[in-house]
């Protein structure tokens, strides 16, 4: 197979990135919306894909398509090599000790369901407690509600401060010997808040609990070292980090993965099948039943190669700079911004309410100006209720966004205000 190449290296532009060169790798960014150039500010929902990712996925499908870990023919061996090569790439990107600690899934939703079912239903009993936060995405709430209902465990929440940070003043009473798992987002998709993961990991381990992380927003935007953070489990989503949809996975410490039961049963995850029972392969393979999204994980590896070419420290620096500029412009324009106002402790998903314009109406008007934002509760209804709003508008930034696009957003807000006034 051809080696993937990344055309963009670090350069002295915004946050250490040559954003102009980056944008040329993303064909969709040349589209227009009517007479307006597309301003895509919805990367927290899904990121756009560079040519390198599109080509890697297509090249696999055109020339190497077969089922991984099945046939011993040439294409089968090439597919297996590409699939397992992608696993090794992900492990390196996350600082995992070995590829076998990476389970491939379709993304964080599947990963957190695997944790809640495979670990939670195996280890939790009545009287045990699960600790999460009020800023979680529904994918890290609903699976735990379902598991609590089955096991009799109790779900508890770390509250939020008025400025969108975790209120850790109550951690001592919330995290006790009854706590068996702490499951938290690494970066809020609604507030942008970055979670102090190492602090929570140390606190969880001190009472004998493990910690699981929803890194759907954190992994695309910041360097991660799972060993330095000492997290036990960490889910990530490929389509939010330049990769294809249906790509992603779950990192887990080896002993934690081996203690978990599979969520799905079927082909390839078994060791032996008898009339009354089956035995399973070791992790990660016991969690990968059936035909996996092979081409998508190959595309994810290409996305990681691309991000590595940019340098994740540069990616983070770019996000801080763009977010800082956006916060200043939005606040000056009269928007109410939810979440921290300090760009150094938050990500680039900026939720806001503008004047008296409902977010859905605002998003409709902005779309007519070529500006794509998200409007709604962002699958974070607990956070919305905490701040007394049914929904917010959300602009979210990534490596291809510019300050000119922030200016376009603010200009479109002025246009919306003129319409609704």
Neighbour tally for 402: CB within 10 Å = 19
Euclidean distance between CA atoms 358 and 332, whole angstroms: 19
User: What is the rounded distance in angstroms from the CA atom of residue 352 to the CA atom of residue 357?
Assistant: 11
CA distance 352 to 271: 52
How many C-beta atoms surround the C-beta of residue 279 within 10 A?
A: 10
Alpha-carbon separation of residue 307 from 54, 252, 274, 301, 330 (angstroms) = 15, 22, 45, 10, 28
Backbone angles phi, psi at 172, to 5 degrees: -60, -35
Assess contact for 86 and 293: CB atoms under 8 A.
Answer: no
Instruction: Report the C-alpha gap between 145 and 127 in whole angstroms.
Output: 14
- Residue from 38, 142, 174, 379 carrying the catalytic annotation: 379
8 Å CB contact between 46 and 245: yes
Closest by Cα among 341, 336, 340 to 393: 336
* Separation of alpha carbons 226 and 236, rounded Å: 12
CB neighbour class for 243 (10 Å; exposed up to 12, middle 13-18, buried from 19)? buried
Helix (H, G, I), strand (E, B) or coil at 182: strand
What values do phi and psi take at 233, rounded to 5? -145, 145
379 catalytically annotated: yes
Active site residues: 379
């Amino acid at each position: 197979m051809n080696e993937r190449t990344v055309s963009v290296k670090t350069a002295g532009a915004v946050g250490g990135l040559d954003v102009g060169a980056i944008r040329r790798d993303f064909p969709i960014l040349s589209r227009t919306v009517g007479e307006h150039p597309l301003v895509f500010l919805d990367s927290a929902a899904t990121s756009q894909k560079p040519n390198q990712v599109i080509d890697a996925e297509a090249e696999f499908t055109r020339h190497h398509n077969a089922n991984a870990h099945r046939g011993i023919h040439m294409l089968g061996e090439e597919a297996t090599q590409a699939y397992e090569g992608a696993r090794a790439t992900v492990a390196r990107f996350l600082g995992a000790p070995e590829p076998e600690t990476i389970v491939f899934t379709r993304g964080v939703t599947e990963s957190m369901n695997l944790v809640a079912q495979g670990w939670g239903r195996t280890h939790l009993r009545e009287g045990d407690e699960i600790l999460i936060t009020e800023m979680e995405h529904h994918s890290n709430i609903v699976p735990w509600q379902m598991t609590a209902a089955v096991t009799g465990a109790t779900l508890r929440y770390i509250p939020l401060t008025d400025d969108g940070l975790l209120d850790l003043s109550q951690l001592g009473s919330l995290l006790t010997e009854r706590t068996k798992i702490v499951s938290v987002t690494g970066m809020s998709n609604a507030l942008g808040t970055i979670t102090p993961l190492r602090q929570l990991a140390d606190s969880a381990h001190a009472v004998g609990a493990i910690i699981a992380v929803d890194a759907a927003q954190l992994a695309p935007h910041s360097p991660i070292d799972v060993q330095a953070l000492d997290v036990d489990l960490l889910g990530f989503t490929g389509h939010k980090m330049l990769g294809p949809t249906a790509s992603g996975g779950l990192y887990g410490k080896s002993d934690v993965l081996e203690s978990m039961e599979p969520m799905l049963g079927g082909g390839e995850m078994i060791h032996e099948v008898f009339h009354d029972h089956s035995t399973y392969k070791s992790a990660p393979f016991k969690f990968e039943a059936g035909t996996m999204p092979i081409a998508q994980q190959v595309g994810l590896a290409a996305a990681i190669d691309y991000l590595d070419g940019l340098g994740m420290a540069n990616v983070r620096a770019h996000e801080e700079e763009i977010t800082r500029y956006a916060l200043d412009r939005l606040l000056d324009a009269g928007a109410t911004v939810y979440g921290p106002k300090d760009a150094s402790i938050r990500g680039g998903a900026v939720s806001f309410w503008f004047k008296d314009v409902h977010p859905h109406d605002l998003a409709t008007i902005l779309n007519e100006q070529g500006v794509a934002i998200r409007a709604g509760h962002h699958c974070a209804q607990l956070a919305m209720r905490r701040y007394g709003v049914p929904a917010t508008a959300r602009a979210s930034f990534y490596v291809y966004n510019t300050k000119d696009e922030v200016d376009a957003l603010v200009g479109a807000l002025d246009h919306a205000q003129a319409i609704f006034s």
